[in-house]
Amino acid sequence: MTIEFIWQLPTSGDGRYGDAGQTRRGERTASSRPPFTEGVSDPRGDRFNFLDHLHQIARAADLAGFDGIQIQNDLEGDESWIVAGYLARSSRRLKLLTEFEASRGSAVYAAKNAVSFQRFTGGRFAWQISQGGDAALRRRHGDYAADSERLPRIGEFVEVARGVLTQSPFSFKGQFFEVLDGGFNGPLANHPVPLIYLSGNTPEALRLSARSADVHILDAAPAEELKASVATLQGLAAVQGRRIAFGLRIDVLARETEDEAVHDAQRFLAQSGRAVGSTDPVVGPNLWAGFATAQTGAAASLVGSYGQVAERLTKYADIGISSFVLAAIPHFEEAYRIGEQVLPVVRSRIATQLSKAA
C-alpha cells in the first residue's frame, strides 16, 4: 500500500503562534492590523503578499517531504485553480490536489483546463470536488441547485470530464450537462485524467464515491469508528467492479512531549476566543474534536507528542487509510515540524509492517 501525505494550503488565511486568528499573512492593506508590536516595521514592505505566503507553505511542504498540497476551496478566499497555477512551477514533485465545486461551470471546460495543468505539471494535477457550503452562501455565488442535486451533479460532472478526456467523439445528455460529439484531439488528447477525490458521510455520498471516486476522504474520527465506513465503501465499490483508496482529513498538533502539546492546544483555544476546560474535547486517544474546525475545516485534530501522533496516524493506515490530508496552524512553520518529526516515523513504521506481512 502506497501512503501519501498531503499538506493543506490555507487559501482563506493563516494564523501565527502568538495569534491563532485567521489573517492573510503578508497583506498590506489599510484595514489590516500589522502583526508586529508598536514601532516595529516589516522590511519587506509591500513586496510580499498572501500569495507569496502560500508559495512559502508549498515550498516548505516540498522540502519537508510531503507528497502533495491540498488547495482549499473557499468561496470567501482566493480561487483554488488560480492558486494551483501559481504554485505549479514552484515544485516538480508535489501533487496539486485542487478543491472546487461542480457549480464552477462546464465540465468540458474544466477538463480542458485540467489538460493544460497535466501538460505543464507532468500529470500532478488532482481534483477534490466538494459539495459546497450552506445554501445561502452558495446562492450568493450564483449556485441555485437544490441540496438534493449536489451529489448527482458531481456524478455527472465526473462522467462528462472523464468522457471528453478519454474518448473522441463523446456524447452525453444528463440532468445538468450535455455534450454532442465532444472529446479532445491533437496535443490535448491522451493526457492523464486527474485523480478524483470525493468526500461525504451519507449513504448517497458513499454510493457516489463507489461509482466515481479514486479516493474517498473521510472526516477525522477515532480509527475504530472509521472501520465501518471503510468496509461499507469497499463493498459498494466491489459491486461496481472497482477498488478505491481511502483518505483522512485530520489536523495535527505535535510537540516533543504530550504536556507541551496539550499546553499549546489550550493556548490555541484561548487565542481563538474559546473557553478552555469547560468541555472535554477529547473523543479518542490524542484526538480532540472540533479543535480548529472553524479555521481549517477538519473535524478533529491529533494532539500529542511526536511519537503519539505518529502512532495514531499509523493506526489509521492499519485500517486502510492511504491518503492523509493534514494541516496545523500556522501552516508554514508547522509544515517543517510535521515533515521532519512525524512523517519519517510513520513511513518507517508502515514500511516495517509491510515487510513483516510480506
Q: The CATH number of the domain where 61 resides is what? A: 3.20.20.30
Stretch (H or E) spanning 308: helix 306-318
What is the reported pLDDT for 162?
Answer: 96
Please state, in angstroms and rounded to a whole number, the distance separating the CA atoms of residues 301 and 289. Answer: 6
- Section 81-109 average pLDDT: 91
Contact yes or no for 206/188 (Cβ under 8 A): no
Contact yes or no for 268/253 (Cβ under 8 A): yes
How do 170-173 and 125-130 pair as beta strands? unpaired
Determine the Cα angle at 281 with ends 277 and 287, to 5°: 135
Structural domain contains residue 260: no
How do 245-255 and 300-305 pair as beta strands? parallel
What is the reported pLDDT for 340?
Answer: 97
Domain of residue 84 covers 4-30+43-251+321-346
pLDDT surpasses 90 at 244: yes
Q: What does the block give as the cell for 113?
A: 483546463
pTM here is: 0.91
Which residues on neighbouring strands pair with residue 182, listed in sequence order?
A: 170
Q: In 151-257, at which residue ranges do the beta strands (DSSP E only) sit?
A: 170-173, 178-182, 195-199, 215-219, 245-255
Inter-helix orientation angle 223-239/203-212, to 10°: 50
Structural domain contains residue 267: no
Predicted confidence (pLDDT) per residue in 12-35, tens digit: 888 887 677 777 787 665 555 555
Burial (0-12, 13-18, 19+ Cβ within 10 Å), 297 = buried
- Section 127-142 average pLDDT: 84
Predicted confidence (pLDDT) per residue in 307-328, tens digit: 999 999 999 999 999 999 999 9
What is the reported pLDDT for 34?
Answer: 57
Structural domain contains residue 340: yes
What is the reported pLDDT for 358?
Answer: 62
Structural domain contains residue 134: yes
Whole-angstrom CA distances from 136 to 19, 133, 146, 312 are: 30, 8, 11, 37
Predicted confidence (pLDDT) per residue in 209-231, tens digit: 999 999 999 999 999 999 999 99
Contact yes or no for 57/78 (Cβ under 8 A): no
Burial (0-12, 13-18, 19+ Cβ within 10 Å), 311 = middle
For cell 478526456, the residue is 165
Structural domain contains residue 298: no
Higher pLDDT among residues 143 and 189, named by residue: 189
Structural domain contains residue 178: yes
Structural domain contains residue 230: yes
Predicted confidence (pLDDT) per residue in 35-71, tens digit: 555 555 555 556 678 889 999 999 999 999 999 999 9
Greatest C-alpha distance within the chain: 66
- Section 130-145 average pLDDT: 80
Contact yes or no for 115/107 (Cβ under 8 A): no
Backbone angles phi, psi at 307, to 5 degrees: -65, -40
Predicted confidence (pLDDT) per residue in 254-271, tens digit: 999 999 999 999 999 988
pLDDT surpasses 80 at 289: yes
Number of separate domains in the chain: 1
- Average pLDDT over the chain, rounded to whole? 90
What is the reported pLDDT for 333?
Answer: 95
Structural domain contains residue 93: yes
Please state, in angstroms and rounded to a whole number, the distance separating the CA atoms of residues 76 and 221. Answer: 27
- Give the pLDDT band of residue 275 (cuts 50, 70, 90): low
